[in-house]
Amino acid sequence: MAPDYSDPDWLRDRMTDVLSFYYPGCMDDENGGYIAQLDEETGRVYDGQSKHLVATARFVVNFCLGDRYDGADWCRPAAEHGVSFLREHHRDSGTGGHDWLLKGTETIDDTRVCYGHAFALLAYARAYEAGISDDAPLEEAYDVLLERFWEPEHDLCKSEFSGDFSESEDYRGQNANMHTCEAMLAAYEATGEQRYLDRAREIAHALTVRLAEETDGLLWEHYTEDWEHDFAYNRDEPRHQFRPWGYQPGHHIEWAKLLAVLDRYTDTEWALDRAVELFDDAVDHGWDDEYGGFYYTFDREGEPIVEDKYGWPVAEGIGAAAALAERTGDDRYLDWYERLWDYAEANLTAPGGNWYEKLSRTNEPYETSDGPAVEPGYHPIGACFEGLRSLTE
């Protein structure tokens, strides 16, 4: 018999399972910060030096949420540990920007990536909300995003700069802006300051309404410098880690969650309407009816391109279903909430309680890949978080 996935005790316990897989092995007591490179099956550390900005920020968020929901007593000091590393090592005091990749405490890539700065803002928001840091890091991270990345004529952000912010690339991306919206919503939740909610609403409307009108409501990933759809970008790299070609059902359902959250704080009718539509798009085009799970990408005709199943779209689907159930009162979202948790528990849960990052189409786990990790349990913890606040609070 399946557990009651809306039971707050079960959700808190499931969150703790994921945190306990990483802790204490993730704590780098020599250099500071975290070690994210743990084998998904065994928990063995295969790289104790690489420190990715996204992984550092996500660990902070994870431990803040563990502390928020009365997790183990090590959650709070673990979050404080990460905030200090973000400020002292990822952050460049000269520009206020955050370095993309470190080895130990040495910067090996100082590219200023909007995607990474969005997660830094998210981490500072959750830390401020938890009373772990004051509002200065949060406000500075917001100022950097607005002063360096924000394009007010488009209500969207640029994607990347060189380390000194002197040069930016021409590429513009959906993904970085989606996570900036996510971070702005968290900053609003932490502070109640309207400016954060305004930026979240502007980004959401620009991408999910204005630009999506050109693609029948679907969300393309890649754009030119003038925010025109770039349907040729990475056409020959369908498995690119951050910028694959094609539509991503995971991002459609992640936007459904963010728009439902936005609807909590505004009376903007389009947000909930688009959340419903994007949820339907994700399950209509992306759900594998035979084996379950979401295809990674589908093409402009709606056919799967990469059939691998990643864990993060399922986690985002759980969050979206919970938030939409709360906002609409429609029981079909509770059905999807249970269906997605059933799939996750049967296929994505590894022996240690964490989630596998990626499965084959038939749900066979891939071996843990080498290289800097960016997914330290952030998405399954986020699924528990949204279930808790949407269905039980």
Q: Which residues are catalytic?
A: 251, 379
Q: How far is the C-alpha of 298 from the C-alpha of 389, rounded, in Å?
A: 31
Q: How far is the C-alpha of 148 from the C-alpha of 125, rounded, in Å?
A: 19
> What's the one-letter identity of residue 352?
G
Task: Spell out a b/e string for 115-133, using b for 16 or more CB atoms within 10 Å of the CB, else e.
Answer: bbbbbbbbbbbbbbbbebb
Q: How far is the C-alpha of 21 from the C-alpha of 42, rounded, in Å?
A: 10
Q: How far is the C-alpha of 245 from the C-alpha of 197, rounded, in Å?
A: 30
* Cis ω before 238 (30° cut-off from 0): no
Which helix (H) or strand (E) segment holds residue 358: the answer is strand 358-359
Q: Is residue 308 a contact partner of residue 296, using CB atoms and an 8 Å limit?
A: yes
